[in-house]
Amino acid sequence: GAGVSQSPSNKVTEKGKDVELRCDPISGHTALYWYRQSLGQGLEFLIYFQGNSAPDKSGLPSDRFSAERTGGSVSTLTIQRTQQEDSAVYLCASSAGLAGGPHFFGPGTRLTVL
């Protein structure tokens, strides 16, 4: 597509439930990133995929968080046993993978954990 898309745009869930957030990157972009935007904490890196390489998971805050990228395209971020502190806007970005290449961000998924 023309840009990065994410779904759902909003997700309200109860504490303890699992959630899945989806990202469709720009076609042909080999690099895909997940970030989290929380009030007062800015943008926080979560995980990075590049082609078929093993993902860089160094930013995941706990083992309740996981992500996969199927076929080098669509990615799903899964949060298990959600907690209230997981409430944030989850942003996906893709890039062409070139050195210094900018990220193109999706509109985000606003997650609210009650």
- Nearest alpha carbon to residue 87 among 108, 111, 107: 111
Encoding tokens for residue 78?
Answer: 């899964």
15-34 binders of other proteins (CB under 8 A): 31, 33
Residue 1 binds other proteins, judged by CB under 8 A: no
- Which residue carries 């970030």 as its tokens? 35
CB nearer to other proteins: pick between 4 and 79: 4
Min dist. Cβ of residue 83 to other proteins (A): 23
> Is the bond into 8 cis (omega within 30 degrees of 0)?
yes
Residue 2 binds other proteins, judged by CB under 8 A: no
* Residues forming a β-bridge with 53: none
- Which residue carries 């959600």 as its tokens? 82
Residue 42 binds other proteins, judged by CB under 8 A: yes
CB 102 within 8 A of CB 111: no
* Residues forming a β-bridge with 23: 6, 75
Residue 104 binds other proteins, judged by CB under 8 A: yes
Residue 91 binds other proteins, judged by CB under 8 A: yes
Residue 41 binds other proteins, judged by CB under 8 A: yes
Residues of the shown chain interacting with other proteins in the complex, contacts defined by CB under 8 A = 4, 31, 33, 35, 40-43, 45, 48, 50, 56, 59, 91, 93, 99-100, 102-108
